[in-house]
Structures are given as structure tokens and as C-alpha cells.
């Protein structure tokens, strides 16, 4: 699987820390290696391992954006990755959020969702 199809482990951890619950088909599962160290792999929900952190795809992130709000999300391909912006959020304190960039489009969308959640807009 292409790792850019899901959120990275770091961003998946941030989603969990922000209290954002996403029912995702994929998740980061923790394993213990022979030396006793922990490593993570992305697994599909049908696998028998319970995920530690959900690893949502872009459509799963967009589906949990609030209904009934006047907003537009632009996801733009850049030379160095992807950018995402909320173009017209009519709820104060924003008329427009700054551009959030990342090499992974799912991470860029997740960072926007984390920002909106932390700021109390959703």
C-alpha cells in the first residue's frame, strides 16, 4: 500500500491526542521486534490485529467535516507535496484559514481537522 494513502503515524497520534475519533478501514498496529522494541505497520481492519491508532484515508477525513457549515476545502498539489486550505468558513474567528502544507495529502487534511477541532470550530 502507498503510505500517502493514509495519515502518517505521527499525524495519526495527533488525531488521537486531539480526541478526534475516526472509524477508519486502516490503522497503525504496534508490534514488538526480537530486541523488545516497538514498531508500527499499517494494517487493514479485516486483519486480525487491533489498531493502536486509526490511519484514515482522505475521504474518511472529509466525511467528518461538519455538515451545514459554509466552508470550502481546497486540496492543491504543490511541487513539494500538497496544500490544503479552508476557503470560506463563515463562523468566527476565521473568514479564511492559512494554507497547511505537507508531503502527504491525508496528513494535510488531518492537520486542518486538528486545527479546527482545537480552535473549537467543529
pLDDT digits (tens, 9 = 90+) for 81-106: 777 776 665 544 544 556 677 788 89
Angle at 28 between CA 22 and CA 30, to 5 degrees: 135
Q: Which region among 14-18, 22-26, 44-48 has the lowest average model confidence (pLDDT)?
A: 44-48
- Which of the pair, 112 or 69, is modelled with greater confidence? 112
Residue appearing with cell numbers 493502536: 52
The C-alpha cell 495529502 sits at 105
pTM score? 0.79
- Residue 121 CA, distance from chain mean position: 17
Task: Count Cβ atoms below 10 Å from residue 40 Cβ, excluding itself.
Answer: 17
Q: Which residues pair with 82 in a beta bridge?
A: 77, 102
**Torsion 11-14-15-16 (CA) sign:** positive
pLDDT at residue 92, rounded to an integer = 43
Amino acid at each position: 500500500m502507498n503510505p500517502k494513502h493514509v495519515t502518517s503515524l505521527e499525524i495519526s497520534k495527533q488525531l488521537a491526542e486531539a480526541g478526534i475519533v475516526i472509524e477508519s478501514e486502516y490503522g497503525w498496529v504496534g508490534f514488538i521486534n526480537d530486541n523488545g522494541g516497538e514498531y508500527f505497520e499499517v494494517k487493514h481492519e479485516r486483519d486480525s490485529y487491533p489498531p493502536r491508532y486509526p490511519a484514515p484515508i482522505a475521504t474518511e477525513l472529509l466525511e467528518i467535516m461538519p455538515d451545514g457549515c459554509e466552508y470550502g476545502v481546497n486540496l492543491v498539489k504543490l511541487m513539494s507535496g500538497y496544500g490544503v486550505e479552508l476557503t470560506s468558513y463563515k463562523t468566527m474567528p476565521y473568514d479564511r484559514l492559512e494554507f497547511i502544507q505537507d508531503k502527504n495529502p491525508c496528513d494535510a487534511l488531518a492537520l486542518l481537522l486538528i486545527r479546527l477541532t482545537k480552535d473549537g470550530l467543529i
